[in-house]
Structure 1
Amino acid sequence: MVIKNSLLELLKEHPISKVTVTDICKKANINRNTFYSHYANQFELLSNIEDELYEEIRQVVGYTMNHEASGKLSYEICKYIKANSSICEVLFSENGNQELLERILYISHDFNIEKWKKEEKHIDQKLFDNWYTFTAYGSIAVIKKWVKSGMKESPSKIAAFIDKATEAVSKDFY
């Protein structure tokens, strides 16, 4: 854990391309052999951190969708991000992986496509895909701005905005 936390601290100041294994080891107060017994390099370490976060959020999304609470999905994701703000602030920043939040928001893609197909049978799959892409990228922008500004608003307020914007677009879409 100390290795992961050290990398996250370094990423607050520098992009991953400027962080070395030596930097991480100094910050963690460990030797390089200890680092290399766990990870091949700093990129693998970052990937491991991202994959852990992704998997935790995937479980939140899966639980929410399996309990017929898809209307709460935006809230559950925002709540998770707020509860894990220290890691999310770093991973969603300019120094983190810019595609991670996109990957997270696409977890529910297939579920939502199936739901929308049942509700609006006359609209084809391609239109649903385009609509989902449009709303997902809007959601990403809102969440990134929220995280970058220090998450002052509550998760429920941000989720309500995302849900209202998504609903407004869907009404014009149909």
Structure 2
Amino acid sequence: MVIKESLLKLLTEQSINKITVTDICREANINRNTFYSHYANQFELLAMIENDLYEEIKQVGISSSNPQKLSYELCKYIKANKTICEVLFSEHGDKELLERILYISHDLTIERWKQELKYYDPQLFESWYTFAAHGSIAIIKKWVSSGLKESPGKVAAFIDKATEAVSKAFYAEEL
């Protein structure tokens, strides 16, 4: 745990490409043999931290069968895990992690749209989801980088309203 925390602390100051195993060991007050008995390098350590976070959030997503509820549960999780999320969603974290997280609800959302609309256009639905997901990513990143001042409910409500506005535009085309 101290090794992971040390890397996260270092990531608040610089990117993973500038952090060495020696830096992590110094911060954790351990020797390099201890580090190497657990991880091959700093990149593997970061990947493990990110995958652990992803799997935890995936469990939240799996337990939430409603995309709107998922927005709230995701925001609530981010707020409860503020420190790690601030680091991993920052400029020094993995740029694709938040995208991977938001694509957890992909199949659920596409299925809901299929049921709500009379027609199914796979290419349109994929573009629609990409638009909604990337807008959500931008809102979450802004929220995290500004210190998570708003409540998870307020941020999730904004994301849901914005997504719903886009949905209504597509529904209107169908009529």
Sort the TM-score into its range (normalised by shorter chain): over 0.9
1:139 is aligned, of 136, 139, 142, to 136
Contact 2:67 2:105 in 1 (8 A): no
1:2-151 equivalence runs, <5 A: 2-65=2-65, 69-151=66-148
For residues 3-37 of structure 1, what are the alpha-carbon distances to aligned partners after superposition, in whole Å with 9 as ceiling and x for unaligned?
Answer: 00000000000000000000000000000000000
More displaced, 11-20 or 123-132? 123-132
Distance between the aligned counterparts of 1:71 and 1:47, measured in 2? Answer: 28
For residues 141-162 of structure 1, what are the alpha-carbon distances to aligned partners after superposition, in whole Å with 9 as ceiling and x for unaligned?
Answer: 0000000000000000000000
Q: Which runs of 5+ in 1 are unaligned?
A: none
Superposed structure 1 runs of 4+ greater than 4 Å apart = none
Distance between the aligned counterparts of 1:121 and 1:128, measured in 2? Answer: 13
CA drift at 1:119: 1.1
For residues 49-102 of structure 1, what are the alpha-carbon distances to aligned partners after superposition, in whole Å with 9 as ceiling and x for unaligned?
Answer: 00000000000000011xxx4331100000000000000000000000010000
CA drift at 1:115: 1.3
Residue 165 of structure 2 corresponds to: 168
Q: Which runs of 5+ in 2 are unaligned?
A: none
More displaced, 71-80 or 41-50? 71-80
Distance between the aligned counterparts of 1:39 and 1:123, measured in 2? Answer: 46
For residues 101-148 of structure 1, what are the alpha-carbon distances to aligned partners after superposition, in whole Å with 9 as ceiling and x for unaligned?
Answer: 000000110111111111113131111111000000000000000000
Q: TM-score, normalised by structure 1?
A: 0.97
AA aligned to 1:5 is: E
- Equivalenced residue count is 171
